[in-house]
Amino acid sequence: MIAQAGDEKVPCFFEQKFEYGMIAAERIKELVEEKLQGTDCFLVDVQVRPGNRIAVFIDRDKGGIAINDCVEISRHLEKSLDRSVEDFELEVSSPGMSQPLKLLRQYRKHVGRKVTVLLRDGRRLEGRLDSADENGFMLEEEKKKKSAEAPQRHALAYDQVKETTLVISFN
């Protein structure tokens, strides 16, 4: 190809790029929820990063996620998406212990567990997740050693909370 550069004609070499469209996270959510319908598994989050790097996080109401659960979701997505149109990288897993709780179902699953709560005002609370419903959750702080004070209970609305994470204990 010849391009015009001022009064001079110069050879033009170019690389043709094929840009794949970004896969919509909503589409992935629909496909995963379709596959999980009627099971005790649920979708926690879908992230679509640049380059169509898709991360799907699933959980189960009782117990943990098995490798077969991840394989089934992965196969369903592979079958439902066309790689010739949308090239992608796919990862399906459980959210992991260090990931913040995002859904009411996760809060309910972990009632009785020790959690750390970072509030929007910057305060950090640690205690046992006592209960959870649509409006918020109850946190019972642990009694301080050598203290006669009763443990404090906090009724927290979800909009007060920046993040809630599980405390990993090896006891």
Q: Which domains does the chain have, with CATH numbers?
A: 25-93 (3.30.300.70), 104-166 (2.30.30.100)
What are 82-124's pLDDT values in tens digits?
887 778 999 999 998 889 999 999 999 999 999 999 999 999 9
Distance CA 7, CA 22 (A): 41
Q: What's the pLDDT at 13?
A: 39
- pTM for the model stands at 0.77
> Locate tokens 């906090």: which residue?
154
How high does pLDDT run on average in the chain? 86
Residue 60 has pLDDT above 70, yes or no: yes
Residue 103 is given by DSSP the state: S
DSSP3 helix / strand / coil % (the chain, rounded to 5) = 20, 35, 45
pLDDT at residue 20 greater than cutoff 80: no
pLDDT surpasses 60 at 63: yes
- pLDDT at residue 51 above 60? yes
- pLDDT tens for each residue of 120-154: 999 999 999 999 999 999 999 976 666 667 789 99
Which residues are paired to 48 by β-bridges? 54
